[in-house]
């Protein structure tokens, strides 16, 4: 019996290229070989596609692979662009579809959807350009202090902080230097948590994994890129939450997944404050490296990484 050919798509023209290479390597190395034939599909920083090191046009994938495991992160791979390409050439793929990916990747659009569904998220303002009065506009709409984020992107890249009006101009300049659109959000102090969900898993249509509590190192103001991948953060799984808080986090992760009409799996990030639990953002293609959070929560429920990959590939083939 012929093995299922799984093209593992990694790399990509985004600032998360290196993380995607590691996620893709983890998938390539853990797909059960008795059932699947893993094929390495690399997209380089200029957007050129390679299959096992040889240049390939996306249109060729229709007869070279049976399914694509999307291990890209960030723009192009997580915002609906590559999903549109794969749908055009008729290749099934893992992860969310075109519209849901684009919606989740745009932090402003996603937050609007959260509010529509009654999901608590920090107050914010969206800035479409570096306007001379941008700092004044921020303080008129959002109370201090502030978190400034590129409107698109992940791995906490480009995020900066401002305590008040006097710090906003410099902070805005830094974020606008890397992104044409900026989200300025009220910074809510509290404990950080994240929850992954998987569709059609263990008898549930959206199964919530145990919440992970994240404690960044003292040298990092939050769970930034270095804290994520430098190995210095404490990632407590299951987190030290009461049964009531754990249940609420899991229900909110399910609600976010459904509200944005995501597919297969996702991971939602939270802040827990005395005022309640706030949703920060959702990752439609969370990292699957050795340092990543989703594999840790899988181990906490007695599931293996190869079993997870097999399940996700089967969902895509359905």
- Catalytic residues, by residue number, are 16, 155, 229, 267, 269, 281, 283, 287
Q: Name which of 71, 129, 80 is nearest 103 in CA terms.
A: 80
Q: Name which of 66, 60, 10 is nearest 37 in CA terms.
A: 66
User: CB burial class (10 A; 0-12, 13-18, 19+) of residue 143?
Assistant: exposed
Dihedral in degrees, nearest 10, Cα atoms 78, 82, 88, 89: -120
Q: Coil, helix or strand for 42?
A: strand
Q: Whole-angstrom Cα distance, residue 231 to residue 25?
A: 19
Q: Whole-angstrom Cα distance, residue 87 to residue 84?
A: 5
Peptide bond into 135 cis (omega under 30): no
Q: Whole-angstrom Cα distance, residue 92 to residue 96?
A: 11
End-to-end Cα separation, the chain, in angstroms: 19
Q: Whole-angstrom Cα distance, residue 69 to residue 38?
A: 10
């Amino acid at each position: 019996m012929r093995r299922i050919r799984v093209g593992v798509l990694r790399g990509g023209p985004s600032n998360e290229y290196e993380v995607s290479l590691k996620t893709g390597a983890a998938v390539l190395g853990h797909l059960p070989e008795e059932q699947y034939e893993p094929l390495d599909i690399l997209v380089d920083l200029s957007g050129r596609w390679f299959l096992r090191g040889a240049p390939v046009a996306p249109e060729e994938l229709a007869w070279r692979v049976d399914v694509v495991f999307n291990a890209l992160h960030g723009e192009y791979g997580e915002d609906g662009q590559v999903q549109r390409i794969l749908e055009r050439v008729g290749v099934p793929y893992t992860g969310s579809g075109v519209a849901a990916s684009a919606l989740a990747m745009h932090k402003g659009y996603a937050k609007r959807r959260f509010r529509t569904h009654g999901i608590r998220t920090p107050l914010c303002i969206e800035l479409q350009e570096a306007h001379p009065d941008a700092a004044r506009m921020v303080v008129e709409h959002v109370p201090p202090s502030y978190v400034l984020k590129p409107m698109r992107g992940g791995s906490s890249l480009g995020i900066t902080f401002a305590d008040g009006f006097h710090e906003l101009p410099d902070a805005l300049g830094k974020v606008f230097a890397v992104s044409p659109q900026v989200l300025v959000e009220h910074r809510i102090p509290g404990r950080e948590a994240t929850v992954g969900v998987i569709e059609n898993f263990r008898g549930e249509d959206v199964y919530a994994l145990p919440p992970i509590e994240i404690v960044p190192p003292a040298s990092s103001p939050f769970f930034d890129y270095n804290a994520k991948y430098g190995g210095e953060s404490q990632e407590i799984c299951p987190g030290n939450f009461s049964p009531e808080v754990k249940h609420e986090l899991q229900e909110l992760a399910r609600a976010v997944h459904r509200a944005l009409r995501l597919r297969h799996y996702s991971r939602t990030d939270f802040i827990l404050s005395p005022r309640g639990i706030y949703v920060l953002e959702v990752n439609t293609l969370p990292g699957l490296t050795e340092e990543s959070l989703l594999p840790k929560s899988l181990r906490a429920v007695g599931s293996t990484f190869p079993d997870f990959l097999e399940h996700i590939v089967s969902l895509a083939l359905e």
